Structure 1
Amino acid sequence: MPATSPAHHQRRRRRTNRLLVTAAGLVAAGALAAAALPGSASADETKGAPAHSGRYQDVQLLSFNDLHGNLEPPAGSAGRVTELQHDGTTKTIDAGGVEYLATHLRQAREGNRYSVTAAGGDMVGASPLLSGLFHDEPTIEALNQLDLDVTAVGNHEFDEGAAELARLQHGGCHPTEGCYTDEEFGGADFPYLAANVLDDRTGKPVLDPYWVWKKNGVKVGFIGVTLEATPDIVSAEGVKGLSFKDEVETIDKYAKVLQRKGVKSIVALIHEGGFPASSAYNYDCDAPGAGDGISGPIAQIAENVSPQVDALVTGHTHNAYVCTVPDPAGKPRMVTSAASFGRLYTDTTLTYDRATGDIARTAVKSANHVVTRDVPKAPDMTALIDKWNTLAAPIGNRPIGYITGDINRDGTESPLGDLIADAQLEYARKLDAETDLALMNPGGIRAPLTYAAKAGEGDGVVTYAEGFTVQPFANTVNLQDFTGAQLIQILKEQVSGANEAAPKILQISSGLTYTLDLTKTGADRVVTDSIRLNGSAIDPAATYRVAANSFLAGGGDGFPTLGQGGNDLVGEDDLTALEQYLTANSSADNPLAPPKADRITVVD
């Protein structure tokens, strides 16, 4: 049975005391209106009356997902959200940064005596240098200070394996790098939940499967799972010795466990997501004419998870939505996601019925809110960032290149994707001059390169920290031989097999061109006759030397053919390749212009 240790309680008490001090002086912000049900506690009742007054009690559920260690405000498009206006137009808003997230959450909690904060996974992993350089200890410290109560694991929590995840949960200094400060790392004050991640040796979850929040007789259970397909998108070493089980079957199993324990109000934290019809965070996907609301894996999960579960907090796709999806009994159920990188948070009102112990689902309300940067910074978060920046600055502030403008990662083919592929090709040719081309997975490009100056640099300067933020995985650059037929198959796997529903378009090095016809379906979307290397058609019988990062070279991201290459040669990490390319091809006097992104012709 999941338990909470005395040390955990002591850390939580210390954290509560910190919050009482650091929250002082913050301006109150309006929270969601309480559901107007007979017997629900009024504002006066919550101030003076006994906490158990009335049959119905509103519980505030604050949630976010996919923070990925973004403690400082994310740069460029990664730090903006789209807002739908009343006249149907949209505008973008700068958002994110843990100093602002802390202020917004603390303001939202004011006046809500029953408030719990949960997350949908990927709190760490693929993090900027400020967190990633220290194996995400800074982010865990920040989440402790944010008063996070519980989170599911995401796929990125396994980037460094189960042992490292256990260290983040329980504490202790890094096994090879030791302690980064004078104090030993204390671990997370909140539980990570991993109900569907089993240790192959024991057959049991590697961390607690569920957790119960309790206050004055109100009980809400949380079950945490990550996507079953985690092994397909994490390095083999990261998931070694683990099995990932079906999300629906696992949630249903532990919903029954919680029901037997008398916990009838249940929230599932699911690191799997969907795709809304609009990119605007405030799009009403339940409005008449809004279509199916959300599509993708989470829609099927939401339609099949037991009706015993009252709400689903999701993530993974980095999209924003607040939708109702009917459960198997046909009853509407809230499904939410708060985009990524701390740009949004979700405020959900769960109306708890003390007579039944369940959630009165007809009264559930929810909305996403922007983590704007026009509020006071939380002083304790500023101090935390300053502490870790002092340690990271000697490494992070070193210039590695110069650019003439923003180099973005957006689009089917992106300028930054082209640049990274070119960097890996140039690096690979230093190892083997016969290398023909390079391929880069779009999911491995975590942020744009921005022209505007940050503290300690000038306009157009690319620092090591910025490069690290773009490519934080420490994948090696691997060289392999493939036949022309295999190369054609690799390109077709972008839009077929595991990638048919949600294509993953590889970023390609200079010299490789082809046409992507989106009017067709499946593998036919890659027009075989159009594939050219330096102007010549691909010969199915010829051998081609291909560079790709180690994740792709292992068949990751739904590219099984990339795991079948021969004559392997392993180079240094991909960030080294990017740094060497920028250093060799740019200078303060001759900065690098963004590539044109004209290698893939898209027909739609």
Structure 2
Amino acid sequence: MRGAFLPIALALAACAGQPARVAQAPAPAAAPHLVTVGIAAFNDFHGQLEPPHQSVLVPDGKGGTAQVPAGGAAWLASAVDAVRGRYPNHLTLSAGDMISASQVASSLYLDEPSIGVMNRIGVDFNAVGNHEFDRGRDELLRMQNGGCAQFTAHKPCQLEPFPGASFRYLAASTVDKDGHTLFPATGLKTFGSGADKVTVGVIGLTTRTTPTLVSPAGIAGLTFEDEAATINAQVPRLKAEGADAIVVLIHEGGKQQGAPDPQGCDAMSGAILDIIKRLDPGVDLIISGHTHASYICQFPAAGATHPLLLTSAGLYGEMVTDISLQIDPAAHKVVSAQAHNVIVQSDPYQSATRLVQHDDRFPVFPPRADVAAYVQRYVDAAKVYAAKPVGRLSGPAARGESPALTTGGPLGNLIADSQLAATRSAGAQVALMNPFGIRTALVPAADGTVTFGDIYRVQPFGNVLITETLTGAQLKAVLEQGVDDQGPHQGLAVSSNVRFAIDLARPAGSRVVALTIDGKPVPPQQTYRVTVNNFLAQGGDTFTDLADKPDAVTGMTDLDALQAWISAVPVRQVPTEERLRVITR
């Protein structure tokens, strides 16, 4: 019907002696010319030079999950090359914890080979993570600047001179007492020229909870400022310096719930969400870490031209995130951002329960030859330590895992027993072990043999044992801190004389029930000598009720205790009894 009005209008105009004018539809606006920048991103590498003998969990297409063997520096190098090969313009970024808690071949050499690997891969920027501070600020500065100055018990530059990182560490929220950041807050990288010129600005920072996660001596004089406020202060500075895109590299993150899916974002939780809520809409992409989880999320951003993209690639180089930013160079803004987690499928391996084989749904990356040869040099040098047998086990020992609660499982119990035995001379009656301090399962050879390299992979931190006095009430409060609402839940592993239950349906502070020692209820006022590692004794993992005890006695390293416990009998039995019971409803 509307089209019929046009002839009438033309006739009236002609009768009036006026020329007929037909309104022309405006020409469609030309589509903006876009420039694509690709990013290969990962996080929490933790010096995993060799395949870590862990797997990525993925949907199996049948309502369950499948395991994909993944990781290893040479395989990661090939995967990063494959991602970058898709983009003429590209960046390679790491969201922290590149070093420390490492495999023996890296740790024995102060993680110099891990930095060497990353130089060969071609990383551009790495955010400082909390584990970067494990050996103290001076050693961390050496990681950046190179040299052979000795700041630890281990001698540096044992195999070759150390040139330092060819990439830049970024630490926007780590401030020295003089008001300067420990490393630069931001970095810029420009691609193209003329009408195709685009610049990506990168802000790097770590979690503000770092003081609860590392030794106080290693961060003396440093403060860790609020993440969102730090990011927001840097956005306009980067824009003023010509940044068309703003990328945040942050060593903080979250976790999704439900069935594992590296591409998912199911019921996300974690500290990163509060940060996102307070962010400047000028942020286009957040590459996160710290929680060792994988996810790809998009969040609506008020005033932004596209949703805020949040990514994480798990841990240990088992995945690399393939990120694509489409940038309008004329408008100086990102118009879209996409991401996909690429599994770094490597060699099959024997887990604590089964042989984990290749999954044909995913590509198998070949190890990159130059990185493999470089890693092998350090692996060979470390063999004199790593291959030394320390004893035999009755079978594999795994850490406990569940969606709601991480527990020590049989391996945590084994470690707690070893620590109690090692500190009896200090009066120890109970030992506690944090599951998050257990890095991998302990899987012996077919004849039960366990090597130093095996136990080192389990506990690579070099912690020492601390025995201190707690009342029964304080002991219960410590167990409660593991399942309060201040962080991810972990049920502390306990020595063989302790039993307790956890009911997560109860309010925080009252979730630990049925606590006994030697089969007897624990009176609140009775005192006990309790052994923990020095990380926990400093209040690490938010176990603040263990900190600052005046009668603390320092013992041997946790690794020496585990080695002594395994070697004390012909075959050490892996504990099978249920010391921690999780109440389900």
Which category of TM-score, normalised to the shorter sequence, fits these structures? 0.7 to 0.9
For the residue of structure 2 that corresponds to 1:237, the secondary structure is helix
1:70-109 mapped onto 2 (5 Å cutoff): 70-75=48-53, 79-109=54-84
Task: Quote the residue 1:320 is aligned against.
Answer: 294
Deviations 1:546-594 (A, max 9, x none): 1111111122211222114342211111111111111113x3xxx3333
Structure-2 change in CA distance of 1:501 and 1:547 (3 Å): closer
Q: Answer whether contact 2:109 2:158 (CA < 8 A) is retained.
A: no
Partner Cα separation in structure 1 for residue 148 and residue 294 of structure 2: 35
Deviations 1:155-189 (A, max 9, x none): 10011111111100110114155443463200001
Matched, 1:333 2:326: no
Q: Report the CA distance between 1:389 and its aligned residue.
A: 1.4
Choose from 214, 218, 221 the match for 2:190: 214
Structure-2 change in CA distance of 1:174 and 1:280 (3 Å): farther
Q: Report the CA distance between 1:328 and its aligned residue.
A: 4.8
Task: Quote the residue 2:6 is aligned against.
Answer: none
For the residue of structure 2 that corresponds to 1:238, the secondary structure is helix
Q: Answer whether contact 1:224 1:268 (CA < 8 A) is retained.
A: yes
Q: Report the CA distance between 1:238 and its aligned residue.
A: 2.0
Choose from 414, 417, 420 the match for 2:412: 417
Task: Quote the residue 2:175 is aligned against.
Answer: 198
List gaps (5 residues or longer) in structure 2: 1-28, 347-363, 402-406
Choose from 313, 331, 337 the match for 1:356: 331
Q: Answer whether contact 1:323 1:335 (CA < 8 A) is retained.
A: yes
TM-score by length of 2: 0.87
Partner Cα separation in structure 2 for residue 110 and residue 261 of structure 1: 28
Matched, 1:186 2:166: no
Deviations 1:512-559 (A, max 9, x none): 1111112212011112xx111001111222221111111111222112
1:14-163 mapped onto 2 (5 Å cutoff): 55-75=33-53, 79-163=54-138
Task: Quote the residue 1:173 is aligned against.
Answer: 148
Partner Cα separation in structure 2 for residue 199 and residue 114 of structure 1: 35
Task: Quote the residue 1:8 is aligned against.
Answer: none
Task: Quote the residue 1:44 is aligned against.
Answer: none
Q: Answer whether contact 1:199 1:241 (CA < 8 A) is retained.
A: yes
Partner Cα separation in structure 2 for residue 307 and residue 541 of structure 1: 53
Aligned CA-pair RMSD: 1.8
Matched, 1:520 2:506: yes
For the residue of structure 2 that corresponds to 1:295, the secondary structure is coil
Partner Cα separation in structure 2 for residue 329 and residue 562 of structure 1: 46
Q: Report the CA distance between 1:87 and its aligned residue.
A: 4.2
Using the TM superposition, name which of 406-415 and 476-485 deviates more: 406-415
Matched, 1:575 2:555: no
Q: Report the CA distance between 1:479 and its aligned residue.
A: 0.9
1:278-427 mapped onto 2 (5 Å cutoff): 278-285=258-265, 292=267, 294-329=268-303, 332-360=307-335, 363-373=336-346, 374-411=364-401, 412-427=407-422
Matched, 1:428 2:405: no
Partner Cα separation in structure 2 for residue 554 and residue 111 of structure 1: 47
Count of aligned pairs: 527
Q: Report the CA distance between 1:484 and its aligned residue.
A: 1.8
Using the TM superposition, name which of 117-126 and 385-394 deviates more: 385-394
For the residue of structure 2 that corresponds to 1:387, the secondary structure is helix
Task: Quote the residue 2:463 is aligned against.
Answer: 475
Q: Answer whether contact 1:274 1:297 (CA < 8 A) is retained.
A: yes
Report the AA paired with residue 232 of structure 1: T
Q: Answer whether contact 1:63 1:313 (CA < 8 A) is retained.
A: yes
Partner Cα separation in structure 2 for residue 489 and residue 238 of structure 1: 28
For the residue of structure 2 that corresponds to 1:380, the secondary structure is helix
Structure-2 change in CA distance of 1:239 and 1:179 (3 Å): closer
Deviations 1:331-363 (A, max 9, x none): 521100000011111001100111122211xx3
Task: Quote the residue 1:29 is aligned against.
Answer: none
Deviations 1:54-111 (A, max 9, x none): 8211111110000000110012xxx101111444332111111111111111122224
Q: Report the CA distance between 1:39 and its aligned residue.
A: 8.6
Using the TM superposition, name which of 85-94 and 263-272 deviates more: 85-94
Task: Quote the residue 2:497 is aligned against.
Answer: 511
Partner Cα separation in structure 2 for residue 329 and residue 277 of structure 1: 29
Q: Percent identity?
A: 36
For the residue of structure 1 that corresponds to 2:140, the secondary structure is helix
List gaps (5 residues or longer) in structure 1: 1-37, 41-53
* Rg (Cα) greater in structure: 2
Q: Answer whether contact 1:302 1:312 (CA < 8 A) is retained.
A: no
Q: Report the CA distance between 1:460 and its aligned residue.
A: 2.8
Partner Cα separation in structure 2 for residue 516 and residue 566 of structure 1: 29
TM-score by length of 1: 0.84
Q: Answer whether contact 1:484 1:538 (CA < 8 A) is retained.
A: yes
Q: Report the CA distance between 1:509 and its aligned residue.
A: 0.6
Partner Cα separation in structure 1 for residue 547 and residue 574 of structure 2: 31
Structure-2 change in CA distance of 1:279 and 1:196 (3 Å): farther
Deviations 1:393-438 (A, max 9, x none): 1111111121232211133241111011000000001x23x32100
Q: Answer whether contact 2:93 2:124 (CA < 8 A) is retained.
A: yes
Q: Answer whether contact 2:493 2:580 (CA < 8 A) is retained.
A: no
Matched, 1:437 2:412: no
Q: Report the CA distance between 1:381 and its aligned residue.
A: 1.4
Partner Cα separation in structure 2 for residue 274 and residue 59 of structure 1: 26
